[in-house]
Structure 1
Amino acid sequence: MNIGRVGIWSPELRLHPDPVEIHEAAAELDQHGWGALWIPGLGGGDILGDAERLLRATENATVVTGVLSIWRHTAEDMAAGHARLSRDYGHRLLLGLGVSDSAAAHQAGGVYRPLGALNAYLDQLDQAPEPVPADERLVAAMGPKLTELAGRRSAGTHPFLVTPKFTATARETLGAGPLLAPYQAVVVESDPARARDTARGFLAPFIGMGHYANSLKRQGFTEEDLAHGGSDHLIDAVVAWGDLDAIDKRVRAHLDAGATHVALHAISADSGLPLAEWRALAPLAR
């Protein structure tokens, strides 16, 4: 499945209250030429219904769940929904799967053993009446074991809040073939103080979550970097901010490090669909 080299990652394409505006925005993004439109799993909900809305609005872009929690969606339902949407819209749906955290597992009545749980879920997708092909699913992975599993049993991996250095390490683990599609937050703002304030407001809740904090520490960031919403060093490393050239430089850094695709999340200080930011980023679509 070819998702191009750059895509748009957007919670607004799920959460915006006006479905007509979502449809129009998705159609415009498709016209810009983005290879994929990514929607997050959030707390569950009808993620396949939200994916179908984007498939209906577009003609070329792949729609990717980035990522749905295996604790909140059964493999049976996801396989059946994937098969239906593939029949109706062609092979333009890529199922991104994630193991979330221990709280999600416990809430679902499960035991948090990420590797075993994900393997079992993938087995169920393989054994469904209409299996999900390995090249039409991918895995969110931050550590080497899950990254290896992603390369072996899916199209590849979609890591969250990572640097180009992490991308290079993940590519070494994956080998040459599998998809490596890091998430990249961006702020289209050249003033350092405003850009970092916007980035910090978005990142602070994630930094406070244990599994993301631990991932950032494994990437070399310190407790001081994670304090008070994130140091400037952390913000600058995981968020690309500035003009189009500055953001393009970060995209190219990931691609040079071995990424096959970069999913751009335009963060704005304003609420609603970030149409101005998407239009500013449109020259990067390829």
Structure 2
Amino acid sequence: MTFDSLGRFGVWRAYNGFSPEDARELEALGYRALWLGGSPPAELGMVEPLLAATETITVATSIVNIWSARAKEVADSFHRIEARFPGRFLLGIGAGHPEHTGEYRKPYDALVEYLDELDAAGVPVERRALAALGPRVLRLAAERSAGALPYFVPSAHTAEARKIIGPDALLATEHKVVLTDDAGTAHTIADGTAAFYLGLTNYVSNLRRIGFTDADFTTPPSDRLFDALIAHGTPEQSVARLVEHLDAGADHIAVQALDDNYLAVLRMLAPLLSARS
């Protein structure tokens, strides 16, 4: 797998949210990767039907949670998928959130141990990536994997992440989209999602590092923070916000459409994104 195979734009959705039919259409629309969000189980049984339904699209996890999916089982799943669909699966792993994990301990040490187990099980460094926000894990992502998978970040974070991981590591950043040019409607659709993630300490700490303050972490969040994290407006305005990540140094953007009819949003964005690829 090369970074070129990911293309510039993919689609992020909960791991059970893609159907094979959706995957075929998204591939035809020009999206190059499907990012399976949440914490998919170690067996990764949802991956092969999506790959079987498509020709060239990459399927990636975003992310397998190291606390709930044992490394040996995940490695076995990787090799099973690789044997059937060579080069089309990227294993994204991460430490999740202390609020959601009873077993949680120092995430950096746990990630290193997990990567050691993946090494021992023969999962290639270039076929895995790490969820990473802060400098230490970003450096680990560059050293021990293909690169970093930041989530819920503005383009200012992307610029800082690129400086930390260097020019050669993968930087694939998720960004949320609501297609409406009415700011009130955008907030109605996305405020609940934003509030959920702003209830998790690792995201808030990361946003503080890049200059957001208590004045932004309100309910609903400040317009400044909302606009940085949620692309909204016309399709052209939304695409311009996504492309800010590419301009800041990202290799790939995983687009998460928050609207109920996510395919309709991605259909509207596809020709505009294709022009930016």
Q: Which residue of 2 aligns with 1:50?
A: 46
2: distance between equivalents of 1:46 and 1:135?
A: 20
1: distance between equivalents of 2:227 and 2:43?
A: 31
- Deviation of residue 104 (structure 1)? 4.8
2: distance between equivalents of 1:47 and 1:143?
A: 29
- Deviation of residue 142 (structure 1)? 0.6
- Deviation of residue 201 (structure 1)? 2.2
Alignment of 1:1-286 (within 5 A): 1=1, 2-11=5-14, 14-15=16-17, 22-42=19-39, 44-45=40-41, 48-105=44-101, 107-108=102-103, 112-128=105-121, 131-268=122-259, 270=260, 273-283=261-271, 284-285=273-274, 286=277
- Deviation of residue 46 (structure 1)? 5.8
Tell me the C-alpha RMSD between the 2 structures.
1.6
Q: Name the aligned partner's letter for residue 265 of structure 1.
A: Q
3-state SS of 2:45 partner: helix
Q: Name the aligned partner's letter for residue 257 of structure 2.
A: A
In structure 2, list runs of 5 or more residues that go unmatched. Answer: none
- Deviation of residue 217 (structure 1)? 1.7
Q: TM-score when scaled to structure 1?
A: 0.90
Q: Name the aligned partner's letter for residue 275 of structure 1.
A: L
1: distance between equivalents of 2:120 and 2:33?
A: 27
Q: How many pairs align?
A: 271
Fraction of identical pairs, as percent: 39
2: distance between equivalents of 1:47 and 1:243?
A: 40
What do the CA deviations read for 1:154-209 (whole angstroms, capped 9, x no partner)? 01001111111111110000111000011110111111111122121221111112
3-state SS of 2:255 partner: strand
What do the CA deviations read for 1:204-250 (whole angstroms, capped 9, x no partner)? 11111222222222221112211113111111011111122112212
Contact 1:150/1:156, CA 8 A, preserved across alignment: yes
In structure 1, list runs of 5 or more residues that go unmatched. Answer: 17-21
2: distance between equivalents of 1:96 and 1:47?
A: 14
Q: Name the aligned partner's letter for residue 10 of structure 1.
A: R
Runs ≥4 residues deviating over 3 A: 44-47
- Deviation of residue 66 (structure 1)? 0.7
Q: TM-score when scaled to structure 2?
A: 0.93
Task: Note closer, same or farther for the CA distance 1:29–1:15 as it changes in structure 2 (3 Å cut).
Answer: closer
What do the CA deviations read for 1:231-282 (whole angstroms, capped 9, x no partner)? 11111011111122112212221111110001100011x3xx5221121111
What do the CA deviations read for 1:53-108 (whole angstroms, capped 9, x no partner)? 21122111100101111111111011111111011112111011111123455x24
